[in-house]
């Protein structure tokens, strides 16, 4: 099989060929290495690439080996917020520029156990904070569809690698849209799963830290489902375990008769650049053509309360986990101002403020449950802006409204993040300037399978990620 054909395959299709011994892991690795050499320089999605000769030797050793799992022999780049044994992990921070972990984090260990060859890392913003992937160590990751634009973040390297055919699947993490936003910016899929389905490592606080989760990214929804099954599963060392649902048997259920609520800009609370809402309405028409019933919804909860709860709890967690970055002069000098701001905001909080934020969060969960008694899913834009210039730190205003924090411009992701709902970012195609956009399909807590089924029907009808960026296509066909 030609290298170009291997690179265009879904992970599901590639895995089937490897398991049937119709394609050897060494062939896959050779194709991947050639694509990385041809394409990565332009977008800077992959960092800390392992030695190609060692990777080829490792792949050849797998050619005749019994498959270890679904990812057997498939090269994988792991997000640079995940520790990988023997492979530099920096968190995008100069504080850890030369850090080489002795052991894998749980996520990397699960990928290895499934047979993946961990070959590189994907670029991130410093400490994963801010939805634009740049840092002082590796520089900026650029959008595959327009190199002058951002690929989003914090999983920007992962999203760009998928679009550039340098990954079949990729792990992302999502606190404030960190895998949904780059998925939308780069014309791929990203699923923020129900919180707790993909467990955290047993480090630091594991009881209060319930805002962030890891999740899968891919160019097909089936690949998302299968990769989520690799990442999910109980970690007995952390609380709040969740049973892994059956994500595959109902994947082709379709959307006929499904009730979907359209939340748009939350009654004007979330400013949107021109064309964003119209792009989402085009995506909703696809679902209507497939038999879904779409209804416009009034805001189900005050946006300003959601934001207050969000920034309070986020700042509390950042201050608790990153306090040393602000208190130790040497580390402080190497830390970006947005991270220091988070720590300072959290350090000044009172117990009463944190309690108020938690009560708001609880009220919103209760109200959302009532909403999902009427709807199978609700939809919001994935981002409030189109991919912005790569030389910006973050958008200073949206549709004429000044942004008062470095992350206010992506406030639209907060409703799902705050209460841990499953949220699938699906591509919407391309706007007038040729830039990608996405929309979130959000389900009730625990209904990851239902969200994926809606996404699968949408993917069958659109297949937007199969529109390869010209730069990637040129590398593939070299």
- Taking only the tens place, the pLDDT of each residue in 227-238 is 999 999 999 999
By percentage, how much of the chain surpasses pLDDT 70? Answer: 99
Pairing of the two strands 139-140 and 134-135? antiparallel
The tokens describing 224, both together, are 């998302």
Residue 473 has pLDDT above 80, yes or no: no
Calpha distance 366→359 (Å, rounded): 11
Give the pLDDT score at 476. Answer: 65
Nearest partner of 93 among 49, 150, 173, 154, judged by Cα: 154
Give the pLDDT score at 4. Answer: 87
Contacts of 220 (CB under 8 A, 6+ apart): 10, 11, 12, 189, 459, 465
Calpha distance 224→209 (Å, rounded): 25
Q: Which range marks the domain in which residue 41 is found?
A: 3-476
Pairing of the two strands 259-262 and 377-381? parallel
Tens-place pLDDT, residues 419-452? 999 999 999 999 999 999 999 999 999 999 999 9
Phi first, then psi: give them for residue 318, nearest 5 degrees: -65, -40
178 belongs to the catalytic site: yes
Nearest partner of 450 among 377, 401, 379, 360, judged by Cα: 377
Alpha-carbon distance values, 137 to 49, 127, 284, 316, 394 (Å): 14, 12, 41, 27, 19
Tens-place pLDDT, residues 203-226? 999 999 999 999 999 999 999 999
Sign of CA dihedral 309, 327, 155, 102: negative
CATH of the domain at 421: 3.90.1300.10
Number of domains in the chain: 1
How big is the CA angle at 184 (ends 180 and 170), to the nearest 5 degrees?
Answer: 60
Q: What average pLDDT score do residues 106-115 get?
A: 98
Catalytic residue among 3, 93, 150, 154: 154
Residue 114 has pLDDT above 70, yes or no: yes
Catalytic residue among 93, 178, 212, 309: 178
- Give the number of other Cβ atoms within 10 Å of residue 158's Cβ: 40
Catalytic residue among 15, 79, 155, 322: 79
Q: What average pLDDT score do residues 267-295 get?
A: 98
Nearest partner of 332 among 93, 154, 99, judged by Cα: 93
- SS3 category, 393: coil
154 belongs to the catalytic site: yes
121 belongs to the catalytic site: no
Give the pLDDT score at 468. Answer: 87
Q: What average pLDDT score do residues 119-147 get?
A: 98
């Amino acid at each position: 099989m030609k290298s170009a054909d291997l690179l265009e395959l879904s992970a599901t299709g590639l895995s089937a060929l490897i398991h049937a011994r119709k394609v050897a892991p060494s062939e896959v690795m050779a194709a991947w290495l050639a694509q990385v050499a041809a394409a990565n320089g332009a977008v800077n999605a992959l960092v800390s690439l392992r030695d190609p000769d060692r990777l080829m030797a490792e792949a050849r050793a797998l050619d005749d080996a019994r498959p270890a799992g679904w990812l057997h022999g498939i090269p994988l780049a792991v997000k640079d917020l995940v520790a990988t044994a023997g492979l530099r992990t920096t968190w995008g921070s100069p504080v850890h520029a030369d850090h080489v972990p002795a052991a894998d984090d749980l996520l990397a260990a699960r990928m290895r156990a499934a047979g993946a060859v961990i070959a590189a890392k994907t670029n991130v913003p410093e400490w994963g904070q801010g939805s634009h992937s740049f840092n002082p160590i590796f520089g900026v990751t650029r959008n595959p569809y327009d190199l002058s634009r951002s690929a989003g973040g914090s999983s920007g390297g992962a999203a760009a690698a998928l679009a550039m055919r340098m990954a079949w699947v990729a792990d992302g993490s999502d606190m404030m849209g960190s895998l949904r936003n780059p998925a939308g910016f780069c014309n791929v899929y990203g699923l923020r799963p129900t919180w707790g389905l993909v467990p955290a490592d047993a480090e630091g606080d594991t009881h209060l830290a319930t805002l962030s989760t890891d999740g899968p990214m891919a160019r097909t929804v089936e690949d998302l489902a299968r990769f989520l099954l690799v990442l999910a599963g109980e970690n007995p060392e952390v609380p709040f375990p969740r049973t892994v649902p059956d994500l595959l048997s109902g994947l082709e259920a379709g959307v006929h008769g499904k009730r979907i609520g359209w939340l748009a800009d939350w009654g004007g609370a979330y400013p949107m650049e021109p064309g964003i809402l119209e792009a989402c309405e085009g995506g909703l028409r696809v679902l209507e053509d497939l038999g879904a019933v779409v209804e416009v919804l009034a805001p189900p909860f005050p946006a300003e309360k959601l934001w207050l709860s969000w920034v309070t709890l986020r700042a509390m967690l950042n201050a608790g986990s990153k306090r040393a970055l602000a208190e130790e002069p040497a580390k402080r000098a190497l830390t970006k101002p947005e991270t220091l701001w988070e720590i300072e905001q959290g350090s000044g909080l009172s117990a009463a403020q944190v309690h108020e934020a938690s009560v708001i969060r609880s009220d919103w969960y209760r109200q959302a449950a009532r909403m999902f008694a009427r709807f199978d899913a609700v939809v919001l834009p994935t981002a409030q802006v189109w991919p912005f210039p790569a030389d910006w730190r973050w958008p200073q205003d949206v549709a004429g409204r000044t942004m008062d924090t470095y992350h206010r411009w992506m406030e639209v992701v907060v409703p799902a993040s705050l209460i841990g709902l499953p949220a699938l970012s699906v591509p919407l195609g391309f706007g007038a300037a040729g830039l990608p956009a996405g929309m979130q399909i959000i389900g009730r807590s625990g209904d990851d399978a239902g969200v994926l089924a809606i996404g699968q029907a949408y993917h069958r009808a659109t297949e937007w990620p199969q529109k390869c960026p010209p730069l990637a296509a040129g590398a593939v066909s070299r």
